[in-house]
Structure 1
Amino acid sequence: MDPQLTLTNVPDSFLANFIRTKRNATDEEIITAYKKQQAEPSSAESTDTRLANVIQAFEAPYKDPNSLLQHLLDCFDEYVGNWNSQGTSKWYSPYTTLVQASGWGKSRAIRQLAAKDVYLFYCSFQKGSGYPYRSSIADDLDEVKLEEAVMTYVAYFTACLEELADSSKTPEEWAKEHIKTDETQSEEKGFWERIRIRLEQTKTSLGREKDKDISFSNALENAFDKLNESSSMQQYLRDRRNTHMNVLFVFDEARSLLDIKYPAKTSRFLELRRALWYLPQSCGAFAVILDTTSRLSNFQPASLDDPSQRVKSENHDLFDPLYLLSTTDVMSMQTVEGATLHDIINPKLLYRYGRPMWGAQLDAVSEDKLTTQLGNLVKVAMEKLVGGGGKLAKLDKQSLDEKLAVAILGPRIGLDVAPQCHLASELVASHMRACAFVSLDRRSLITMFPVEPILAEASAQIIHVYNISLVSLLEKLISAIRNGWIEGGYRGELVARLVLMLAMETCIKKTISERPKHNQFSHPVLVNDFMEALFGVRLDDWFKSKYNDEDEELKKFKPRCVGQLVRGMIFFTSFISITYTPTSNDMLEFLTRGVAIICKRNQKGIDFIIPILLPKDGNYYPLEVGQITYLLVQVKNWKVSGNFSEAATVCLSTHYAGIDDAARNPYISLYMQLGSKDNGLQLAQEPTNVLTTTQRKAQTQICNGKPFKGKLNDPMIWVMRRCLQIPLVALGLSQQVYACLQSTPDDGNESRKLLGLLQKLLLAWPDPAELHISPKKRMHMKRMYPVIYAEMTMNDSSEQGDCSSSKRQGKRRMHGN
C-alpha cells in the first residue's frame, strides 16, 4: 500500500460506506480504514483458507455432552424394530430424513455413528466446494435413467452389502476408507470403483429377470444372508439377530434427486424410495436422507400429498423425520471464576454460543489467525442469513422481500413465524432459522432462533454496514404480519423491542469506527448512555429534577440509587423468548450471552427484562449475582390516558413478577404506554403512607445499605419497592418521547418514515379487508361480514386510506382494546 495514499485515491463506494458509519470522520481516519481493508487477504485466499478451516473443524474430535449419538441410535433402532415387526404391511420403506438448518452438524453426527459400531454407506451429493466432498459414486446415482433407477439403486444396495461381507474392517475403518477427504481420495476412489463394478454386474443379472419384484427382493436377501454368514464380520455386527441397526445407507445433500422428470412425472428420489422398499425385514439396515427443511415435504411427504400410488392406495406410514440435534453451545467455553464483563464480550468466547459450526471453526485456526477468522465467520453469518450463494453482495432495497426481512430482523428482535406458512420451512432451509417441531402430518413447522450472538452481529451489520435501511425492512415486516406469516405480538411489544434495540444501536454507533469489523455491535453500554439514547435525558440529572419526596431519608437515598444504576452496564444484542420466570441467577446467563428477555406468556407484570450489571470497587464489573439488577419493561398499546401509578410500580416490581422477593439492588421499571395521546417521560410515584415503626426501621436498614432482614409481608414489600424501585412512565410513540427516533440533518425524511411505520406496526394484523387492493373487492368483502366490519361504501374515505372514525372503531373492536 502506498504510504502517500490520499483521499482522492479512495474508491467512492468505500468512502460512502465509511461516512455512513462515521459521519464526521477525518481524512486520516478514512485513509487508515481503507489501508486496513486493503491489507486483508484476497477473496480467493479467503475461500481456500475458509474451506481448509471447514475441513479441520469437521475432522476435529467429536463433542457429545448431551448424548446426541445415543439418541440418534435409539431412534434408528426403534425404526428398525418397527420395520422388522410390521414391514410393508404398515411402512412404505425403511428410511427417514435428518433435517435441520445449516451448521448444526448433521453430516458430522451421522459420520460419528461409525464409532457406535454402525456400518455406514455414505454417499455425498455435495456440489461445488462444500464439505464433505462429493462421493465418486454420486454421478452413478444422480444421473441414472429413470427407467433404470429402481434397478440401479437395488443393485447399489446389493453391491455395498456384498463388499462389506468380503471385508474385515471395523465400522470406523470402513467409514474412513470411503468418505472422501484430502488424505483418502485414492482409497475412496478405489472403494467406489469396486462398488461400481459389483453394481454393473448385479444390474446385468437383474436385467435378465422377468419378475423384477421377486428378483430385486432375492438379490437383497441373498446379500444380507452373505453378510450375516461372513465369519470376518461376526465380531463387528452389533446384533446378529438384526433387531438393531447394523447398516445405514446415507444420502447427504441429495436434493438433486427431487427434480421431477417429464413426461414420467416422477423423480429419482421416488425411485430410490421404491428401491428401499425391497430391503428385507430383519436385515438390520436402514436409510437416512440428510437435507435442509425446505425439502422436508418432498423427502418426507404427508400421505395425502404423496405422488406414489402405493402410498395413496395402501396408506403406508412414513417414519418420523429426525431434527432434534442437541449440539447447541457444545463449543462454548465455561466462564471462569472471577470473570468480568470485559472477559465475556470477547468475540472469541461470545461467538461460540449457538450451533457448533462457529466454535469448531474458531478452534480450527491458531491464535495469531483468530482475528481474521472472526471476520470470516461474521461474513459467513451474513451470507447465510440472506440465503448464501453470493446474495449478500447483490442485496439492496429492490431485492428485499418479506422472507429476507424476517431473516435479517429475526436474530435480533425475536420474531414468531406462523408454523403453517411457507416462510417457516424456507427460513430453516436457507436463512439459519432452526426447526424445533414438525407436526405429524408434516404440514406445520415450529421454528426458532437459538441464542447466537454472531447472528445478531451479522444482522446488525447487514442493516448498518450494508445500508439495508430499517425502513425498508419494516415495510416488508408489516406486509408479512398482515399476510399472517408473522405474529405481531401483544400490545405493541414488537414495536417496543424495536425501539429498545434502536436505542442500543444509537449508543454503539457513536464509537463504531473504533471497533474491529468482526465486532461492531456486540458491546455493553452504560445505563446512563442507554437512557440518553432512548429518551434524550441523562437519567441521574433528570431524576434529580423530577424526584420529590417528603421523607428526608428517601430524599437522600434514592438519588444515590440512581447514581449507582447509571454506572451499571447493559449488554444485549438480541431479544429471546423464555418459558419460565427467571431469577437473578439466570440473569448472569442472559448477560453472558448478550440477550434481553421476552418473558413467558402470561408472565405477571412484565413483558421484557434487560439485565444490568452494577460496578464493584469503581469500574470493575465482576460476573457476580450480587451485582445483578434489572430494567423491567411493561408495554401497553392503550389510547386512553390516566393514572398509571399502580401498573408502573406495584405490577412492575421484582416481587410481583416473582423474579426476586427481596431485591438486593435498586432497579428500573419502565412502563411504555405506546398508544397514549399524551407524549412525555414521567416518574411514577405511589401515594405516600405514614410508616409504622417496623417499616421505618426496615427503610433505614435498606437506606444504610444493609440487606433486609425480617418477615417479608405486604407492608415490608411496599417499603422495599419504595426504596429500590425507579419507576419510569413513557407515554406515546413519538420523537418527542424517544430520542432514538429523532431525525438527524441528513436523514430527516427517513426518520419520519420510520416513525410512521412503527405506528403502523402497532396496529398491523392479518385483516383480510386490507389485503384487497381493489376498493370494490374490499367493499364486497366487508359486506360479506357485516357484523365484523362497519358498513362501508366504495366512496367511503376510509377506502382511500383515511383513518376515519368508523375504521378506527372497527380496528379497536378487532383488537379488543
Structure 2
Amino acid sequence: AQLNISGNVTIHRGSETLEDSKLVTELHNTEDNAYDIIVTENDDESSSSDEKEEDAKQIEPNRIEEAFQVKYQGTTLETFCSRLKLFHDEWYQQIKPYAPYLTIIQSSGSGKTRLVGELRTKGIYILYICERHECSSGYPASTPYVQKILETIRDYKFGALLSIAIKEIKNKNWSAEEFWNIQIKDDHKAECNDFWRSVFKSLLQQKKPSSDSRDENFVKKLFHKASIVCCIDEAHELLAKATKAKDDETYFVKWRRQIRDISWVGFFNILLSTSGKIGNFLPPVTQDTRSARSHDFVIFPAYLDVNTMDVLAPLAENVGKEYDYTRVVYLGIPLWGSLAQAGVSLINLVHLASQKIRNFSKKNNDHLANLACMACSLSLEVSPRIAEVDSLIASHMATALGVSLDRTSILCTYPSDPILASGALKGIIDVGWENCLDTLLELFSRGVVEAGERGELVNRILFSKAYADAVRECFPDSPVTYLQKVPLKLFLKSLLREEIDGLDELLNRMGIDEAEIGFNHWTSLLATNQKYVESGGMKFLTANLVIEAYHRHTAFKMPLGFPVIDHIIPFKYNAGYGIISIKTRIQKKTTFGAKDISSLIHPLNSFGKWKKGYKILGIYIDLGLDRENAVESKAELKSRNAPQTRSKNKNNEDKKDVKNDYDQIIYIQGVGSFKCCGKEISERLSKILFTRPWPLDTQWSEFDEKTDLKREDVIKTFLPLVFEQKQSLVDKWQLI
C-alpha cells in the first residue's frame, strides 16, 4: 500500500528519527519495516516550495558538532571557574545552608553547553546528562538511558547513580578531555552507551544503600587533584511530574532534595536549559514549594555571565575599512560565527535567526514572537517585573542582564547582534507590520512594554521600514538579508512620499551624494545622568562609536531625556563617516526656528565637543499626531537664514560674511509625508502615542474570550475624580 502525505512530518523507526523536519511526500510501509508517523499542522502558509532557505532544525544536527570544535575564545571561562569555586566553597562551609547547584540562565546560542564543556581544560570532569528527548535531532544528543536516569530521580536513587558513575570514570582511567568527547561526539556513541549500561548494571546489583554520599572525601579519594561536576542539560525536562499522581512532585523538586544530601568536597551540580524559565529553577521564595519553604536552605543566584558577545570577531576575514556584510556573522552571540565556520551560508543563518527569535512560530497573532522581534529591532524597553521577561529569555533569544535578589525582577535586553536583528526584521515583515503594531498596542494597553518616548518609537518604526523597503528595491534579485547598505539618496527616497526640491544639491554640496547607509536595529545609549557617564556609559557619540555602529549595522537611540537629538544614523561617504541627526516633535509647543536647525547640525550636540568638518545631515520631524485635524503633509529643506554681517578685510574694505551652504536641514511635517506609511500603519502609529492601560478596556472584565462581564460602571466607582460619579463629593458635602 502507498500512503501520500503533505505537511510537517516526523517519522520514527524504533528510537531513530528519519528525515526530521523534511517534507515527505511518499512513504511505503511494510509489516517488516514499520514506521510511526506523526503529522503536525504546518502554519507556514506563506512559504513557497522553491524557497531556498534551509530549515533551522536541519542546520543544527548537520553543523553544530563541527561548530563545537571552533577554538574557544574570550575570558568567559575564567569568570565561570571563579564563580563555580566561590559557590562550591560557600556550600561546603555551610555558613548558610546552600543547595549545591548552579543554574546557568542565558539565551539560546550564547554558548552555555560549550562553556561547561570547557571546564575539562581546567582538569574538571563533567558528567554530562542531556535530558533531550531521545528522538530529538538536537546537539549534543540525548544521553543514553535518559529515561532510566529520570527514574533514579523518581525513586530517590540519584545519589547512588552519581557515585557509581564517578567510580566507573575512575575505573576507565579516562582524562577529563576523553570523557567529555565520549559523551558528546557522535563517533563515540557506542562507548558512551557502554558506560551508561555498565553504570545501570552496577546500580541494579546494589542491594543496600551506599554510604558514599555521606563520605565528604569520596571524590578526593578517587581523583586527588581533579573535581567533578554533574551537568544536566535541557533541564526543563525535570519540570514534569515524576508520576501521574495528582499530588506528586516534579523531578526537579526530588532532584534538588537528593543533591542536598550529598556532601562531597570537589563536586558540584550545574543546570542548563535553553527553554526553561529562571523561575522554574530559582523560584522566588514566595513561589517555591511548601516543602522548600519549610526547610532552611538557600539557593545560589542565577549565573548569567555567559558573556560571549563578539568573542568570535577575531575570526572575521577581509578586515578593513570597507563594509563587508559577511563579517557580521562574527558579531553578537557565537552561534552565528561557529555555524559560519562550519559552512552554513549567510542566508541560512538569517533564516535560522528569524526562526529562533520567533521560537519557530510564524503565526500572525503570536504576541510573544512579535514582541521579541520588535524589542530586538526597535529597542523596546520591557518591564523587568512582567512574566513575559522569563519567556523572552527562555524562548525568544533575549539576553538576561540581571536578576533581583528576591528573584522577582529580571532585567533583559537585545544587545547589538546584526544577525539576530536581521532575523527579527525578517520576522516582522513576514507576519506584517500591521500585525506587529497591533501586538504593540495591546502590550501598551496591558503595561507590558515601558512607555518611554512614544514619538521616538514611531520615528524608529518609520525609519526601519524605510530601510527595509530600500533594500528590497535596491536588491530585487538577491536574497534579502537586511544586512546590505543602500545609497543614502535611495534611502531618503524610500522614506518620503514626495521628492524634496534642492535635496540633491544639498547632498552634493555636503559631498555625501554617493554616501551609503544601512541599519537593521537600534541601539539605546543609556547614560541619562552624570553618574551613569562616570560608570562608563556613553551619553555622547565619538567618531569611533559612529564607525563601529556603521559596521554593526545599527543606529542610535539617544539617552532618554537627551535635550536636542532623539536618534542618530551613521553613514559612510568617500572621505569618511557622517551621521543623520533626527529630532521628533509630537506636541507642537514651540514654533520651529533657526535654533532647531543649529542644534541638529552642530557637532557639540551629538559628540559633546566641536568636530570641524564633520558631516551631519539634520532631519526635523513634526508628526502632528496629537492634533484633532491632520496637519498638512509636506517635506522641504529649511535654512537657518542667519543675518549677514559685514566685516573689514586687511585693505579696510567691506566684506560680506559667506553663508554656510550646509546650514540646511530636512523638515518633515505630518505622518502622511512618509512614503512607507499607508493608511493602516498611520492609524496604528497614532494610537501608539496615547495607548496605555485603560481600566474600561474589556480585557480587564472578560469572563472568557467571548463574554464581557460589563463592569464599566463598577470600575468607575473605584476612581473618583478620574471618572464622573453619579453624585459628586461637592453634592454630597454641599461644598457650594
Per the normalisation by structure 2, the TM-score is: 0.82
Letter of the structure 2 residue corresponding to residue 507 of structure 1: A
Matched, 1:106 2:112: yes
* 1:330 CA drift (Å): 1.7
Greater mean alpha carbon deviation, residues 51-60 or residues 108-117:
51-60
Counterparts of 1:520 and 1:162 in 2: how far apart (Å)?
A: 52
Counterparts of 1:724 and 1:696 in 2: how far apart (Å)?
A: 27
* 1:103 CA drift (Å): 0.5
Match of 1:662 among 598, 602, 611: 611
Matched, 1:54 2:58: no
Query: What residue in structure 2 maps to residue 588 of structure 1?
Result: 547
Contact 1:155 1:200 (8 Å CA) reproduced: no
Match of 2:679 among 752, 764, 770: 752
Counterparts of 1:451 and 1:331 in 2: how far apart (Å)?
A: 14
* 1:460 CA drift (Å): 3.2
Contact 2:358 2:427 (8 Å CA) reproduced: no
Counterparts of 1:455 and 1:263 in 2: how far apart (Å)?
A: 41
Matched, 1:161 2:178: no
Matched, 1:139 2:147: yes
Contact 1:417 1:485 (8 Å CA) reproduced: yes
Counterparts of 1:74 and 1:559 in 2: how far apart (Å)?
A: 55
Which deviations, in whole Å up to 9, do the C-alpha atoms of 1:561-600 show, x marking residues without a partner? 34x2332211111111123122121111000011011112
Match of 1:500 among 435, 460, 463: 463
Alignment identity in percent? 21
Counterparts of 2:316 and 2:570 in 1: how far apart (Å)?
A: 17
Structure 2: gaps of 5 or more residues = 1-41, 527-537, 652-656, 702-707, 728-736
Counterparts of 1:192 and 1:513 in 2: how far apart (Å)?
A: 55
Query: What residue in structure 1 maps to residue 192 of structure 2?
Result: 188
Counterparts of 1:566 and 1:766 in 2: how far apart (Å)?
A: 46
3-state SS of paired residue (2:668) = strand
Matches within 5 A, 1:211-290: 218-222=211-215, 224-230=216-222, 233-234=223-224, 237-238=225-226, 246-260=227-241, 261=243, 262-280=245-263, 283-290=265-272
Instruction: Could you list the structure 1 runs, at least 4 aligned residues long, displaced by more than 6 angstroms after superposition.
Output: 334-338, 694-697
Query: What residue in structure 1 maps to residue 177 of structure 2?
Result: 172
Match of 2:97 among 91, 112, 119: 91
Matched, 1:730 2:668: yes
Matched, 1:791 2:724: yes
Counterparts of 1:491 and 1:187 in 2: how far apart (Å)?
A: 59
Matches within 5 A, 1:364-763: 364-365=342-343, 373-388=345-360, 391-392=361-362, 395=363, 397=364, 400-464=365-429, 466=430, 468-516=431-479, 519-539=480-500, 541-542=502-503, 560-562=508-510, 564-579=511-526, 580=538, 581-616=540-575, 627-640=576-589, 642-650=591-599, 653-675=602-624, 677=627, 678-679=631-632, 680-686=634-640, 688-691=642-645, 693=647, 724-733=662-671, 735=672, 737-741=673-677, 751-763=678-690
Greater mean alpha carbon deviation, residues 672-681 or residues 373-382:
672-681
* 1:502 CA drift (Å): 1.7
Counterparts of 1:793 and 1:640 in 2: how far apart (Å)?
A: 36
Matched, 1:320 2:301: yes
Which deviations, in whole Å up to 9, do the C-alpha atoms of 1:590-632 show, x marking residues without a partner? 000110111123334111110011124xxxxxxxxxx111101
3-state SS of paired residue (1:529) = helix
Counterparts of 2:219 and 2:498 in 1: how far apart (Å)?
A: 78
Which deviations, in whole Å up to 9, do the C-alpha atoms of 1:451-510 show, x marking residues without a partner? 22222322333344x4x2211111111101110111232141111100111221222222
Counterparts of 1:184 and 1:332 in 2: how far apart (Å)?
A: 32
* 1:54 CA drift (Å): 1.2
* 1:336 CA drift (Å): 7.6
Q: CA 1:336–1:385 in structure 2 vs 1: closer, same or farther (change >3 Å)? A: closer
Q: CA 1:530–1:775 in structure 2 vs 1: closer, same or farther (change >3 Å)? A: farther
* 1:130 CA drift (Å): 0.6
Which deviations, in whole Å up to 9, do the C-alpha atoms of 1:656-683 show, x marking residues without a partner? 3434512423311222222365333344
Contact 1:528 1:538 (8 Å CA) reproduced: no
* 1:61 CA drift (Å): 2.5
Contact 1:104 1:356 (8 Å CA) reproduced: yes
Q: CA 1:567–1:696 in structure 2 vs 1: closer, same or farther (change >3 Å)? A: farther
Contact 1:413 1:575 (8 Å CA) reproduced: yes
Letter of the structure 2 residue corresponding to residue 727 of structure 1: I
Which deviations, in whole Å up to 9, do the C-alpha atoms of 1:24-79 show, x marking residues without a partner? xxxxxxxxx98xx48x5987xx966641211111133222x2x1111111111101
Which deviations, in whole Å up to 9, do the C-alpha atoms of 1:373-408 show, x marking residues without a partner? 3232222222212213xx34xx3x3xx132121123
Matched, 1:115 2:49: no
Counterparts of 1:493 and 1:333 in 2: how far apart (Å)?
A: 35
3-state SS of paired residue (1:91) = coil
Contact 1:438 1:445 (8 Å CA) reproduced: yes
Letter of the structure 2 residue corresponding to residue 265 of structure 1: D
Match of 1:344 among 324, 344, 348: 324
Letter of the structure 1 residue corresponding to residue 679 of structure 2: R
Work out the number of aligned pairs and report it. Answer: 652
Over the aligned positions, Cα root-mean-square deviation in angstroms equals 3.2
Counterparts of 2:686 and 2:709 in 1: how far apart (Å)?
A: 23
Greater mean alpha carbon deviation, residues 158-167 or residues 685-694:
685-694
Per the normalisation by structure 1, the TM-score is: 0.74
Counterparts of 1:692 and 1:491 in 2: how far apart (Å)?
A: 45
Greater mean alpha carbon deviation, residues 764-773 or residues 661-670:
764-773
Counterparts of 2:650 and 2:666 in 1: how far apart (Å)?
A: 25
3-state SS of paired residue (1:409) = helix
Letter of the structure 1 residue corresponding to residue 515 of structure 2: G
Q: CA 1:638–1:658 in structure 2 vs 1: closer, same or farther (change >3 Å)? A: same
Letter of the structure 2 residue corresponding to residue 158 of structure 1: S
Counterparts of 1:375 and 1:323 in 2: how far apart (Å)?
A: 30
Structure number with the higher helix fraction is 1
Query: What residue in structure 2 maps to residue 81 of structure 1?
Result: 89
Contact 1:412 1:575 (8 Å CA) reproduced: yes
Counterparts of 1:732 and 1:41 in 2: how far apart (Å)?
A: 39
Contact 2:54 2:348 (8 Å CA) reproduced: no
Counterparts of 2:53 and 2:579 in 1: how far apart (Å)?
A: 43
Q: CA 1:49–1:599 in structure 2 vs 1: closer, same or farther (change >3 Å)? A: closer
* 1:536 CA drift (Å): 3.1
Q: CA 1:291–1:92 in structure 2 vs 1: closer, same or farther (change >3 Å)? A: same
Contact 2:487 2:514 (8 Å CA) reproduced: yes
* 1:690 CA drift (Å): 4.4
Counterparts of 2:66 and 2:509 in 1: how far apart (Å)?
A: 52
3-state SS of paired residue (2:127) = strand
Q: CA 1:541–1:181 in structure 2 vs 1: closer, same or farther (change >3 Å)? A: same
Query: What residue in structure 1 maps to residue 25 of structure 2?
Result: none
Letter of the structure 1 residue corresponding to residue 580 of structure 2: L
Q: CA 1:793–1:764 in structure 2 vs 1: closer, same or farther (change >3 Å)? A: farther
Which deviations, in whole Å up to 9, do the C-alpha atoms of 1:267-295 show, x marking residues without a partner? 111111111111216x1211011013642
Contact 1:303 1:317 (8 Å CA) reproduced: no
Counterparts of 2:113 and 2:649 in 1: how far apart (Å)?
A: 63
Structure 1: gaps of 5 or more residues = 1-12, 19-32, 207-214, 239-245, 545-557, 617-626, 698-702, 705-718, 742-750, 795-817
Q: CA 1:359–1:694 in structure 2 vs 1: closer, same or farther (change >3 Å)? A: farther
